[in-house]
Amino acid sequence: MTQKIRKAVFPAAGMGTRFLPATKAMPKEMLCLVDKPLIQYGVEEAVAAGCTEIIIVTGRGKSTMEDHFDSSPELEASLAAKHKTALLELARSVSKLAKITYTRQPHPLGLGHAVLMAKELVGNEPFAVLLPDDIVDATIPCMKQMVEAFNEAQAANGEMSSILGSEIVEGAAIQNYGCLDCTPDPKNPRLLTVKDLVEKPKPKDAPSQNAIIGRYILTPRIFDMLEHITPGAGGELQLTDGIKALLQHEKVYGFVYEGKRHDAGDKQGFLRATVELALKHKDLGPAFRTWLKSYPL
Ligand code: UTP
């Protein structure tokens, strides 16, 4: 029986220290990029990929995310009374995006631990994981490309395999990422057979320039792996250690998506994403472009 990707997990319980002081009392995932919070970009991408159930892993001080995706009766009543139909539709559309459930990570014990918190809600099926601070600007949404690759690999192999979103990074930048030791598929160079993962390698030791980005499709066996690996530095359970363990049992692929990723969890990346996405915004873009051109740099 072929398995479909119906559920998407969003780890969102981290502390967002790179974005202090903005994230002292506000979740990083709720930082507004142009006109919507970071996490909404990811949720829209998952929905565009066919996911119907969204699971957000939250923690202390993150409740604004729940309010954001909930209906807002007072706001809606006020907009309706003023006949602001377009704004009313906009407000309503956010709460209708998908079925969203929440689970808590009591302490930020690492990305692997956050994913493990979703075990009961995911159950025994393959699922997507999207890190909300990786914003991928792509004609075909990144997760949709990955779901297609997952389906094709499943049809070809007769079994499901995990797929790790990947991009090629320049030179020494690989030392900031998880790196794939991999070989490209002869028929599809975007699909990579993964032999091993190396966390933040020194450039001279990097087995490739293929970095792992914040998009994953994982088989449910990952939960078993995460339950049995030993925590690394700071008591954190690393997702990459779980995936390394998974490699002992089943095939894992990398997938080089088409598009451009912004690390919006970092101040510099966030600023660049703001300018690029603002320029592309259908309502705001033209006037913003004119203003930017006249800006005395
Ligand atoms: P990051 O490392 O980018 O987030 O994790 P962080 O830890 O919040 O950020 P910094 O490094 O301190 O600035 C990627 C995603 O994983 C979540 C984060 O919320 C973020 O969306 N995460 C991370 C968890 O849910 N739990 C954790 O224990 C760690």
Is the C-beta atom of 108 inside 6 A of ligand 1? yes
**DSSP SS3 for 231:** coil
**pLDDT of amino acid 111:** 97
Helices in 50-140 by DSSP H: which ranges?
A: 63-69, 73-81, 85-95, 111-116, 119-122
Does residue 28 line the site of ligand 1, with CB under 6 A? yes
pLDDT the model gives residue 234: 76
Instruction: Indicate the Cα dihedral angle 106, 32, 26, 271, nearest 10°.
Output: 100
pLDDT for the residue numbered 130? 98
Is residue 15 within 6 Å of ligand 1 at its C-beta?
yes
The ligand 1 atom nearest the CA atom of 10: 21
Residue 36 is encoded by which pair of tokens? 């919507």
Q: How far is the CA of 131 from the centre of ligand 1 (A)?
A: 8
| Per-residue model confidence (pLDDT) at position 1 | 75
Task: State the pLDDT at residue 31.
Answer: 97
Query: pTM of the prediction?
Result: 0.96
**pLDDT of 233:** 73
Low-confidence stretches of the chain (pLDDT < 50) are none
Q: Which of 40, 131, 240, 261 to mutate to test the pocket of ligand 1 (most atoms within 8 A of CB)?
A: 131
Say what angle helices 85-95 and 73-81 make with each other, to 10 degrees: 160
Look at ligand 1, atom 7, and give the residue with the nearest C-alpha: 14
- Ligand 1 mean position, distance from CA 286 (Å): 34
**27 Cα nearest atom in ligand 1:** 19
Q: Regarding the domain delimited by 7-294, which CATH topology (the fold level of the hierarchy) does it fall under?
A: Spore Coat Polysaccharide Biosynthesis Protein SpsA; Chain A (3.90.550)
Among left, alpha and beta (phi > 0; psi -120 to 50; other), residue 110 is left
